[in-house]
């Protein structure tokens, strides 16, 4: 009675399962498909050359034991390896390799591409010689944590402790320009590199990844390119959103992503938007982006900016008055890169002019480099500042929510709009859910009454007034 290849392979799997861990079994043996059995030779199909190499390098004794148990002492194993040409229009092909055929597998694939090209020319990566392309200045210690980035930082710390093991794989961090994405992902990379020196860590931005891929494509070295990336333990891809519309590059990244993820390697990506808002991407790739954790980094709030300013100045050995750091935190409301530029300019001017850093110098420096600083403040700025101070949702405060914890901050914001803008009462009301001028009048009276009877409330409003006054003075 002829035995089917599926039966033979299932019997082999029973032996293999007893000799490897469950995770390794699911990763390296579940994806294998039996193709045929011819006498004492079983042919199995594996999804890539990398997969084949891994089995040959790590599981030959286990495979031999399984084959000999099921097919007898003369039992042999052969592979059919799926080879991707890198051409999206061309179907994948299969190349047959004998087991333990290190020499044969070279010649079997030399016909694929140029005559002198071997997809196995890249040796195993040495973590001590690979340029990780990380900036050693980026660390968790100098990454200032705040409400704007707490989730992302916590996820980063967890990944750095157990790369590839947590459910945060991939870790997708998104946010606007200058909110600290690159700092955070490089801090993760540096932490892993320092604490786990045997891990191969690689940081690459989208443009370099794309250029490397195009160069490999032109020189018929796609398999070298893929093999290189598949040996990385932590891959950090910055600005992944710029892969949009690049079909072939996406195809290659899809395969690299799959192999790394299946091998328990860690993947980290940054983007300016969450996967659900990405356009020009294959659906199967977007689906994988959502497998792990997606966390956003928002624009820093006042307290976080204040901490960043003080940290930067302390690192440079410079002490600045509290009124200066608060003025800068409120005045620079773009992003952290702009803030760093302002601080560097302030330090330069103080050094050049041999002056102490005070409020007057800070205002003079800012006047020359931040066009957004005007003689008055906008309604948006007042609303944002008040919402941050009272720790309430900005949209709720601007809308029609009538809960007391929202109404009071709304009235305070109206109070400051009357005080620091040229808007009429009717226009102020329009900026708060379309309320009429009588509602604004009531808000002004309520704030003034509460300031007379509640010292804590008065202190809060006075403090807000000082901060807003810095903006207009």
Establish whether 460 is an annotated binding residue. Answer: no
Question: What is the full DSSP assignment across 184-248?
Answer: HHHHHHHHHHHH-TTS-EEEEEHHHHHHHHHHHHHTT-HHHHHHHHHT-SEEEEE-GGGGTT-HH
Name the nearest CA neighbour of 284 among 259, 256, 264, 254.
254
Residues in contact with 52: Cβ distance below 8 Å, sequence separation at least 6, in sequence order: 46, 79, 81, 97, 105
250: left (phi over 0), alpha (psi -120 to 50) or beta: alpha
Q: How many degrees, rounded to 5, is the angle at CA 182 between CA 180 and CA 188? A: 105
The answer to whether 225 touches 219, Cβ cutoff 8 Å, is no
402 among annotated binding-site residues: no
| Max intra-chain CA distance, the chain | 99
**Which residue's entry shows tokens 């050359």?**
49
**Residue 26: cis peptide before it, omega within 30 degrees of 0:** no
Do the beta carbons of residue 79 and residue 99 sit within 8 Å? Answer: yes
What distance in Å separates the CA atoms of residue 410 and residue 395, rounded to the nearest whole number?
A: 11
- Residue 182 is labelled as binding a ligand: yes
Closest to 171 measured CA to CA, from 265, 280, 277, 298 = 265
- Determine whether the annotation assigns residue 161 to a binding site: no
Q: Could you tell me the CA-to-CA distances from 199 to 193, 231, 313, 415 in Å, in that order?
A: 7, 10, 34, 57
Q: Which residues contact 363 (CB under 8 A, 6 or more apart)?
A: 327, 473
Question: What are residue 401's phi and psi, to 5 degrees?
Answer: -60, 135
Calpha distance 44→54 (Å, rounded): 15
Is the separation of the CB atoms in 177 and 295 below 8 Å? no
List, edge to edge, every strand of the sheet that includes 293-296: 201-205, 234-238, 266-271, 171-174, 293-296
- H or E element: which one contains 58? helix 49-58
The annotated binding site is made up of: 178, 180-182
The annotated binding site for ATP is made up of: 178, 180-182
């Amino acid at each position: 009675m002829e035995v089917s290849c599926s039966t033979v392979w299932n019997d082999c799997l029973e032996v293999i399962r007893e000799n490897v861990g469950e995770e390794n079994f699911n990763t390296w043996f579940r994806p294998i498909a039996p193709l045929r059995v011819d006498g004492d030779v079983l042919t199995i199909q594996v999804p890539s050359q990398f997969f084949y190499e891994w089995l040959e390098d790590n599981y030959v004794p286990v495979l031999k034991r399984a084959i000999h148990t099921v097919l007898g002492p003369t039992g042999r194993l052969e592979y059919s390896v799926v080879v991707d040409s890198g051409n999206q229009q061309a179907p994948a092909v299969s190349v047959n390799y004998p087991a333990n055929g290190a020499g044969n597998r070279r010649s079997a694939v030399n016909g694929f591409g140029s005559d002198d090209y071997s997809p196995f020319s890249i040796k195993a990566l040495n973590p001590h010689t690979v340029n990780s392309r990380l900036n050693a200045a980026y660390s968790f210690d100098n990454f200032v944590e705040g409400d704007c980035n707490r989730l992302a930082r916590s996820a980063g710390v967890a990944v750095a402790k157990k790369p590839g093991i947590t459910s945060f794989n991939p870790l997708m961090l998104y946010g606007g320009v200058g909110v600290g994405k690159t700092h955070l992902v490089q801090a993760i990379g540096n932490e892993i590199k320092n604490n786990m020196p045997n891990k191969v860590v690689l940081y690459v931005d989208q443009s370099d990844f794309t250029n490397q891929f195009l160069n490999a494509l032109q020189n018929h070295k796609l398999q070298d390119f893929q093999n290189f990336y598949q040996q990385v333990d932590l891959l950090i891809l910055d600005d992944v959103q710029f892969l949009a519309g690049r079909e072939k590059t996406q195809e290659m990244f899809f395969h690299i992503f799959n192999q790394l993820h299946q091998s328990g390697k860690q993947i980290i990506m940054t983007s300016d938007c969450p996967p659900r808002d990405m356009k020009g991407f294959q659906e199967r790739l977007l689906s994988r982006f959502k497998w792990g954790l997606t966390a956003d980094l928002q624009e820093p709030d006042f307290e976080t900016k204040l901490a960043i300013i003080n940290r930067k100045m302390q690192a440079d050995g410079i002490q600045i008055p509290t009124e200066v750091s608060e003025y800068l935190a409120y005045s620079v409301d773009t992003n952290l890169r702009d803030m760093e530029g302002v601080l560097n300019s302030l330090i330069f001017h103080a050094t050049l002019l041999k002056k102490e850093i005070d409020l007057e110098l800070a205002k003079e420096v800012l006047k020359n480099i931040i066009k957004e600083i005007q003689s008055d403040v906008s309604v948006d700025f007042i609303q944002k500042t008040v919402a941050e101070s009272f720790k309430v949702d900005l949209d709720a405060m601007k809308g029609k929510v009538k809960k007391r914890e929202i109404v009071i901050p709304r009235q305070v914001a109206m109070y400051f709009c009357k005080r620091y803008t040229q808007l009429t009462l009717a226009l102020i009301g329009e900026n708060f859910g379309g309320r009429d001028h009588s509602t604004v009048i009531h808000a002004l009276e309520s704030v003034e009454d509460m300031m007379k009877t509640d010292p804590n409330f008065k202190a809060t409003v006075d403090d807000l007034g000082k901060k807003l006054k810095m903006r207009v003075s």
